[in-house]
Structure 1
């Protein structure tokens, strides 16, 4: 066993250790690691054999062809070349080897001595390293550029144009990007802008939590209506072979795992992982499935690239750019341990230097000048199968029984609307249950994901609901899921001194709660809650004026930061249709809907059914 540490004369380094030309043996090579320190030791075993046996096996690099210019690919190539001969493919090897090594392997009939093989490999890795350094510099520069235009029906803010310019550069180099902007800064829009301008004979793949599937299809239709979308979800999902070129295929993490044998045989153009913290556990089956998806470029989206341990960053970055941080065990020893145990500043800076070209993170505080005082967005949520069954049954039962006329009809329609809204919120609210809560509501799942991200970034959030029962369920669930001691709930049953104490604690307490749940009626007016920078309307009042009054608890005089407002709606249901109606006729909304839902009771049966009936695409699993 000998060691080569990257000496200046590579041939002499081998001979010096007593390995004769052409002799079999075992060698460990040190190759560059892209951290700016030149060649550093990163050892792995290979077996030296004659060229006629070893070189053709480099054709096995085809399994990793989209990262064939990366160090990981060359490491894999060396191991495969020297341990798994596959004769007859020297031409493919010549295609992949850098020019510096190409001349050394033109003659298939000759033997390749051990020292020459080592030299060729070292030249290849060194050439790759210099290429990687040039790429890294270009990507760092791209983070400061402004994309001149975007093929989306939206006006990108300056920081979003910089994000698009960087995504373009990353994709052009067939590399991977980790877009880690703060929640609410438009990671989805920037990604859609990238997909909309890619001209490819391959489809794109977006993998996201089930609760976000509907939101992706909605946002693509809104910002890039000419971009074809295929929903690979639900029991009737289409065959992989039928995905059209250039289309965006949207699926969930659950189905990525279930259908990995199908999804991994396609050559994707861009693979996007939304809420990429879903693969933070590098040993999970989901993370392993994501890493084997072939793609020209990869994009990971998350506002929380590191939640608890640096190993989470390794897992996401290894999907984005395989091998960039070495093996997991090597990363733990080289980076995670010194940073987490002793806050080693030098190691921290070295890690930052490696990932910085491929990671872009902007905080709201950094781009405040680019932001309006208040941003509003509608977030589409999906139904679980339980919700879909309850929803359809409620509609059919009411319509089959008949709604009557006059005052009786008015009451029955309002009762039906209440039932449908409660089902969209959570089956437990409709069924008067206290548990279980997890896994039964798409809206609850999406709210939990969004609030977890806000908590992780240190922001405070207001959550509005018009139902006391739902508020109590939310308080219980969020405390348990997010590891909070308590999530306070301000509602009409709280005494005035209790309300004052709750507000004071949220606004200026020593350890203020990151989330405050507020009953829409109890907290819609008269409160100053400017500590919050996120407002989430869990269910809709369907009167924009009432919702605006609630939002203004945070967006008012005294607020020094931009406020982001999210309105959750369940796709394929009356929530989505009424939301669309109000958005289209915002200026007339108050006159249309009055102060509540009475306007709906004036519809005839046909109009009502069109409004409330569940669409076929609402259930995605």
Structure 2
């Protein structure tokens, strides 16, 4: 059992003579007591425990803590990178054991070996299920008298014991999120639920809305592509809620159409168009889904969102910061106006010190300020049962036709000159678009609508081979492209080459009804095993867990956007490993930008902006080095 030397491990040590008793054991690390203190856990008394280690049973020095002290401390344990998986699962057990009897049933499969390595008789290891059962029994015995339960823990127990108002069994971290959202709404404030993509932000929010007894309606604003998904999820998890789709030509024009307690679902575009109507309603809870839509605080969408009145404001986003801390300011200013001060003061106090100088003091102050209003959990912390995501870069070779077009396009642009100012900006973007289209397929670049496709693009030939293997193995795949023309070419080509019915293509021109039908058919297996998706139209909000392969045919050059697209498949409900294939054409700007992105994924190191904007600021020498074709092997 290889354990990180600096992580504190936790397990439960039952008392075999008295099942109503037992103690928690902290172990691992060079100084177990010090590690416990750093995590806010009681230090406990030293003692020896028998653990099953790779070389056989061994006596290990640990710190032993009575449950009366250990359980409330575990319940309050802060999560993060420095908390071991074993401590996290016992934290969930501490909360669950004081709630419903079924609260621990889903924890056994999540337990890492370190969480139940204690032996029963010096030889036999307790199973996860047996140890959890003993823990539950011991906790109930310890807290048999309500006077022994700390006030804060008693409140947590009462919350946990309440029936969650959705027709689902939320996971422990989701129950915590639901309670946290409820507390936020109760205090008529706002918050950002920034859980990692795929962890169920929608379910947690629906539980909040379903649990609010109110004389006012709720408003959910989301991208057009997920209006139908929100309606389906509410009908599934909270069928008692009335749903009003404020969408399409037949949408309401009077506030009286929004009944008390109803959930009104609309899009960001209609928020702008119908702002006069929507800002005239006294909403109970206002939810912004994919709240990165308002990351530009000077944009009309952000201004419109701030203008809508509500008792509580909830922003949902898996990427609270994509490129700059100004985006966090904009989203938080919607949720809690004024919390972070005026934007200029925020930039001087936090953004500049953190982004330019990596100031640890400023980082700590900002974290402390926003902590009560921002909740973020990562899959690696709370969804340890979620299958792995395996990412790989697939190198593709240019054909002779592609290489000729590529060199000619670069030479023509650089020989003529790119100019300066806005003219240069436009010309550089046009060059980048042309080169990316050539890497995709000459037919896309040349605007061809007829003629053969096979053998003209190394990338197309490679993806056809890959998808053929995926289909033959019985798997399903999502293929993302940012170009509608390329998606249409792929749809026809893949259908013919792989002997499939017409491969569906989900893009911005598909109606809401058509989009829902396309998603449902892919999920239930009645559609072909490949779904082509426009990155902008389908990169957020959709649940496509039927796929266990994700192919990025061309790159968006913004890691956060690509991750959002990938997590249409890698999310709760997925039962298999998700293989992510990122296609990159060797020797071209695709390869060089991909290398840069791999080195520059964190905010502090970011040199990239949204899409290709950062490239337009390169000088001629830097641009030439980025785009010129290397001397690489070219296919036939």
TM-score under structure 2 normalisation?
0.42
TM-score (normalised: structure 1): 0.43
Higher helix share: 1
Larger radius of gyration: 1
